[in-house]
Amino acid sequence: MKLAIVGGGPSAFYVASRLLSRMPDAQRLRVHMFDRLWAPHGLVRYGVAPDHPEVKNCTHKFDQVAEDPRFRFFGNVNVGARSPDGFPHVLQLPLADLHAHYSHLLFASGCTLPALHSALSESPWCMPALGFVHWYTQHPAAPPPLPLHTLDHVSLIGNGNVALDVARILLCPPALLEKYDVPQSVLDVLARSTVRHVSIIARRGPLHAAFTAKELRELINLPDVAMAPLDPALLAVPPGVTASRQQTRILQLLAQGSRAAHSSTRKTWSLEFFKTPTGLDTAGPAPRLLLAHTALDAQQRAVPAGPAPPLPTSLVIPSLGFRAEPAAPFFDPALGHLRTSAGRVLGADGRAVRGVYASGWAAMGARGVLAATMMDAYGVADQIAADAVAGSEGPPVGVEQVMNPAPADDQPPPLVHDACAAGRVVQYADWKRVDAEEVRRGAALGKERERMRWEEAEAFLRGNA
């Protein structure tokens, strides 16, 4: 088995880990991982909030995977359709090259695009939460620094954990973030921020909150930041409804509110339940977010219930989840991710494509925490191993033989091999050098690490930094 993995995030590494551990005596097993990002670990590096360093502990396991001589990582390589803006330096590798040089293929490419709101279009006054996260994690496709020194009020659409991450970064005193993995350029912008209030708008009520109690507690406990009190009637559990333990804890935290009184702090935030945006009015001297009240129908879906007062705001940040790229092979527009069954990728006729698999968000959409991603990845790896043992007599029955059942050698495709020799591709040993240098630079500043952009990392790896 010579497996190519497209994507270098947690799902990709967990599949590789499971296969390498389940097949310790299979000397002919090779796993090659390709990622258009120059650094590995995907959302662990470029999605986890910097003040949640414990979530990144899984990278120790990923380092162990990379120590296996049967594994190789190739960063700065984009497989398939041309990369979006922000990746001018990547090597473009046709998908056909993987078909020709590998017996098996796994898509672990995640959901890399933000889900959009039909009433809001991207503009100077509206940007998706993914762009904000990319900015504070220094993602290669990050937008320019935000003019936070010109903003007073930010409105977040959606109430998942990412929305609360964004609110917390906007409201947290920069001095509390200095010890974490926050680039100095981001800290400089946050230090000049004039944002005073963040509104978090949810189309349903507290019982249907998408955030976790942990995230809510962190926002409530921010020093010198106050939460706007909620109407107690909003927190009442309807008759005939039994709240779960998680729901009960969230209701208790919302009733408790922040330690500081709402009128006593310079920065505040509010939860606006049962509201949804209907547009953004930018005709006046300041933008106004147009809103409608909502109510729950018999299926607990939020439906419009009349207009709500407009909300003056400086910036709107929709945080409504993520979707896979429509150009991805086997993408299903109705699903928003790849067509799969039990980890196997399906062709347009619904039959499994022999030797082609998908895991994580690429296969099931953007949902679930890291533990759920790990369990899904282990299940897909078990399926790959079972299919390999079954051989031609067992499932899946492919629509066509797109992979090469007998790859000629252990090397990556010639295009990648030559780019490695030219220093255009980042291998795992290169990453570990950069990783150590980022930690060293951070220690000199009294923080977790100081991140490099690709240009800095390239110069460092070439010995010019």
CA distance 181 to 171: 17
Mention every residue, 6+ apart, whose C-beta is less than 8 A from residue 268: 196, 197, 198, 225, 226, 227, 228, 262
CA distance 275 to 411: 55
The answer on whether 245 is annotated among ligand-binding residues is no
CA distance 211 to 209: 6
The answer on whether 368 is annotated among ligand-binding residues is yes
Question: What amino acid occupies position 111?
Answer: C
Residue 281 C-alpha from the chain's centroid: 30
**For tokens 């200095």, what's the residue?**
178
**Nearest Cα residue to 200 out of 291, 125, 271, 273:** 271
The answer on whether 133 is annotated among ligand-binding residues is no
The answer on whether 433 is annotated among ligand-binding residues is no
- DSSP string over 153-184: EEEEE--SHHHHHHHHHHHS-HHHHTTSS--H
Q: Are 383 and 344 in contact (CB under 8 A)?
A: yes
For residue 424, the tally of other CB atoms under 10 A from its CB is: 16
Q: Which two tokens stand for residue 101?
A: 């040089």
The answer on whether 122 is annotated among ligand-binding residues is no
Question: What amino acid occupies position 420?
Answer: C
Residue 309 C-alpha from the chain's centroid: 33
The answer on whether 204 is annotated among ligand-binding residues is yes
Cis ω before 285 (30° cut-off from 0): no
**Nearest Cα residue to 19 out of 379, 398, 271:** 379
The answer on whether 28 is annotated among ligand-binding residues is no
Q: Are 90 and 77 in contact (CB under 8 A)?
A: yes
Helices and strands counted in the chain (H then E): 15, 21
Q: Which two tokens stand for residue 241?
A: 């409804």
The answer on whether 335 is annotated among ligand-binding residues is no
Residue 48 C-alpha from the chain's centroid: 8
Q: Considering only CA atoms, give the Rg of the chain.
A: 24
For residue 26, the tally of other CB atoms under 10 A from its CB is: 14
The answer on whether 110 is annotated among ligand-binding residues is no
CA distance 183 to 451: 6
The answer on whether 404 is annotated among ligand-binding residues is no
For residue 176, the tally of other CB atoms under 10 A from its CB is: 11
Mention every residue, 6+ apart, whose C-beta is less than 8 A from residue 135: 142, 143, 145, 146, 186
Q: Residues comprising the binding site? A: 11, 43, 79, 159-162, 203-204, 215, 361, 368
Q: Residues comprising the binding site for NADP(+)? A: 159-162, 203-204, 215, 368
Q: Residues comprising the binding site for FAD? A: 11, 43, 79, 361
